């Protein structure tokens, strides 16, 4: 039993710890999963769309033509915009012209056109940049080359990030965290925190942030989807980093420890309450099991195995409990007549059957408060609380007749069995030995008068 208790407590503790760890993982997944969904829909989709447009010949062939039908190009781009719900543009290196799906064209040779030479000089064939600060758009530029490897220009798309920004705010309100999107030169290109947002041409760099500088080494060595705890404005925060390789960006998810800790504490106390409930019911079960076992042991100790009546020990205990509470107590002593002859003539097995049958008759005549006991051998006693000598004598006479009229069968032959009875009544102060002695004298008198009768002790 002790081993089972230790095992259950250990297993319950293990489950509690496991649930707390699982809760921490759940909270992290709950924080990151919406971001992934948002990134796929709002950021990766434009990248995939631009790459798909660049790989088809319908647009890339336009960049190789020496003479362009501007009206046809603009019409084609307009149709693509309607189908894709994105801005679509083509920038020709040969023509030094940019054609947009909104019907406009831009001369790339003008001095105020900064994006074209800047993006052209960047490493990689896929470049994602932000533009139009008043209504932030993500522009994905795909470099296009001829079969000989000559640079032909760009094919790209532009997508408004207004819904992206609104989702930012919603996630911050729901989960309490901030998001930072950082490009490959550590510039904060997108953020849900007002202090990190670019203002016109002023772009915030991570190295300008004190918390980043203090944890720069740890952040540089972080693996994808790993977390560290840092201090921002004297408060602890959990910073989780994951990479967006298709954009060559990193995302930092910054969550205040206070909110996370509150959720973990709630999980801890919740699981601790469950553990306490389990332990309470376990102790309740153990108590019930011990109580049942104790009663079972007491029953085996205090019950005569042959007749299933109380034995002497049980009667002694019963008498001690009732002698102070009852005003009077009647006692009937029963002895089976000529029992030795039954054993000698028919064997001890038959004698045992007779004893069991007599015990059955006694039990069937007992009142609610009465108790019967096998006193020893072929002797029985019946205690009757708050019962007069007259009433006890009447019960004894009824039992005597039941035994006399009962059909005892041995090897298909009938056996006549009778019993003698001694009845007495005692007051509260008397001891058990004296009461039994009085009943025994009355029983002796019944035997002397010829047996199979009831005698009273006065």
pLDDT value, residue 13: 56
pLDDT value, residue 21: 46
> Is-contact 422 445, C-beta < 8 A?
yes
Domain stops at, among 160, 186, 220:
160
For residues 410 and 334, state if they share a domain.
yes
For residues 11 and 149, state if they share a domain.
yes
For residues 319 and 429, state if they share a domain.
yes
Domain stops at, among 138, 160, 182:
160
pLDDT value, residue 334: 97
Q: What is the pTM of this model?
A: 0.46
Q: How far is CA 122 from the centre of its chain?
A: 53
For residues 35 and 8, state if they share a domain.
yes
pLDDT value, residue 259: 56
pLDDT value, residue 198: 44
Alpha-carbon Rg for the chain, nearest whole angstrom, is 50
For residues 128 and 168, state if they share a domain.
no
For residues 155 and 167, state if they share a domain.
no
For residues 184 and 152, state if they share a domain.
no
Positions in the chain short of pLDDT 70:
1-36, 40-41, 111, 132-134, 175, 192-203, 211, 214-227, 231-234, 257-276, 279, 296-300, 324, 326, 428-429
Longest CA–CA separation in the chain, Å: 146
pLDDT tens for each residue of 219-245? 666 666 566 777 666 677 777 777 888
Q: Which residues of 234-255 are buried (b: 16+ CB within 10 A; e: fewer)?
A: eeebbbbbbebeebbbbbbbbb
Strands laid side by side in the 151-160 sheet? 105-107, 97-100, 87-92, 151-160, 137-145, 126-131
pLDDT value, residue 222: 67
pLDDT value, residue 25: 47
Which residue is it, tokens 């001095």?
111
Domains: count for the chain:
3
pLDDT value, residue 138: 83
Residue at 271 is within a domain: no
Residue at 305 is within a domain: no
Domain stops at, among 94, 128, 160:
160
Domain residues for 90?
2-160
pLDDT value, residue 370: 93
For residues 253 and 130, state if they share a domain.
no
For residues 179 and 130, state if they share a domain.
no
């Amino acid at each position: 039993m002790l081993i089972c208790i230790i095992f259950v407590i250990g297993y319950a503790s293990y489950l509690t710890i496991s649930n707390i760890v699982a809760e921490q993982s759940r909270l992290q997944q709950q924080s990151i999963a919406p971001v992934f969904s948002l990134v796929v829909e709002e950021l990766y989709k434009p990248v995939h769309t631009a790459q798909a447009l660049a790989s088809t010949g319908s647009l890339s062939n336009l960049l190789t033509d020496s003479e362009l039908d501007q009206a046809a190009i603009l019409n084609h781009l307009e149709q693509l915009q309607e189908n894709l719900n994105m801005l679509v543009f083509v920038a020709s290196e040969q023509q030094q012209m940019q054609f947009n799906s909104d019907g406009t064209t831009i001369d790339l040779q003008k001095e105020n056109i900064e994006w074209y030479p800047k993006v052209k000089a960047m490493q990689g064939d896929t470049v994602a940049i932000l533009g139009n600060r008043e209504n932030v758009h993500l522009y994905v530029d795909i470099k296009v080359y001829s079969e000989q490897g000559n640079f032909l220009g760009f094919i790209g798309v532009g997508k408004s990030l207004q819904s992206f920004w609104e989702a930012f705010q919603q996630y911050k309100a729901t989960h309490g965290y901030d998001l930072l999107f950082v490009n490959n030169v550590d510039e904060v290109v997108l953020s849900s925190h007002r202090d990190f947002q670019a203002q016109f041409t002023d772009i915030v760099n991570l190295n300008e942030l004190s918390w980043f500088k203090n944890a720069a080494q740890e952040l540089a060595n972080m693996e994808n989807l790993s977390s560290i705890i840092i201090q921002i404005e004297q408060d602890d925060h959990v910073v989780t980093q994951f990479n967006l390789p298709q954009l060559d960006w990193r995302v930092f998810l910054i969550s205040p420890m206070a909110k996370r800790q509150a959720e973990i504490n709630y999980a801890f106390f919740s699981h601790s309450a469950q553990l306490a409930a389990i332990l309470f019911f376990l102790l309740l079960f153990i108590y019930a099991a011990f109580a049942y076992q104790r009663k079972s042991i007491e029953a085996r100790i205090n019950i005569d195995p042959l007749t299933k009546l109380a034995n002497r020990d049980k009667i002694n205990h019963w008498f001690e409990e009732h002698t102070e509470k009852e005003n009077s107590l009647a006692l009937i002593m029963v002895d089976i007549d000529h029992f030795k002859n039954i054993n000698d003539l028919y064997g001890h097995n038959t004698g045992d059957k007779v004893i069991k049958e007599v015990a059955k008759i006694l039990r069937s005549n007992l009142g609610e408060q009465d108790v019967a006991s096998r006193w020893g051998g072929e002797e029985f006693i019946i205690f009757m609380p708050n019962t007069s000598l007259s009433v006890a004598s009447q019960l004894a006479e009824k039992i005597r007749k039941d035994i006399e009229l009962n059909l005892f069968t041995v090897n298909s032959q009938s056996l006549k069995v009778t019993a003698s009875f001694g009845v007495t009544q005692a007051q509260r102060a008397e001891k058990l030995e004296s009461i039994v002695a009085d009943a025994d004298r009355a029983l002796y008198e019944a035997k002397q008068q010829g047996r199979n009768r009831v005698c009273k002790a006065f």
